[in-house]
Chain A
C-alpha cells in the first residue's frame, strides 16, 4: 500500500471549483486510488475511485496522470455542505485494505 500525502487543509468559497491533489509516489502496479469524504459524527463516504486517466461521476472527477504518482480530486461548484475531511487512499485490487492518512480538511465559506 502506497503512502499518500495531501494538504492538511484548504479553504474555498461557495460556487468555486476545488482541486485536492494527493501524492502517492510508491503506488504499485495493481493499486487503485480512492477518495472518501467524512462529516463529523459519520463514517467516511465513498466519493470516487480510479486506476488511470480520468473518472467522473455525479459528485466529482478524479484525474490520474500517466505515471499514477499523484491524483487530483475535483469538486465542481462547492457548497457549504461540502465542508468535510477528504481522504485519498490507495488499495490493492483483490484485498481492499485501506490505510488512512490525516486527510484534507476542506472549509467552504459563504
Chain B
C-alpha cells in the first residue's frame, strides 16, 4: 500500500492563526480525503481533495475555514484557518489507489489551539 507522510505530526498554535498541513504520498493516487478526529471520537470526513479543481466539502465544513489544495496526484494540503480551541483535533489524510481499492490513512496531525 501507499506510504503516506503528514507534516507536521503535531503542533500547538495560537488562537486566530492558521496552519497548513501537508500530505505526501509515495505513489500517484486517484483520490485523497481529509478527515478530522476529535478527542475520543470517531473520524469525520471534511472533504474530498480533487486534483486540479476545488475540493468537495461535507456538510458542516466550508472552504473559507478549511481551504484545500491538490496540485497533483501525490500531494495535498489542508489549511485550518482562524483557529479556535474547538479546532483542536487530529487531522488525517487518506488516499485511494483506484476504483474499489481500500483507503489508506496517514497517522495524522495532532493540533492543539491555545
Contact = CB atoms under 8 A, between A and B. Distances in A.
A80 B36 CA distance: 27
A100 B107 contact: no
B96 A96 contact: yes
B42 A87 contact: yes
Interface string A19-47: 00000000000001010000001111110
Do most interface residues of chain A lie in helix, strand or loop, or is the interface mixed?
loop
Interface string A68-92: 0000000000000000000100000
Given A49-B102, A94-B99, A96-B31, 19 more contacts: A42-B107, A42-B108, A43-B4, A43-B92, A43-B105, A43-B106, A43-B107, A44-B43, A44-B92, A44-B105, A45-B105, A46-B102, A94-B100, A96-B99, A97-B48, A99-B45, A100-B35, A101-B42, A102-B42
15 contacts: A41-B108, A42-B108, A43-B4, A43-B92, A43-B94, A43-B105, A43-B107, A46-B104, A87-B42, A94-B99, A97-B48, A98-B33, A99-B45, A100-B35, A102-B42
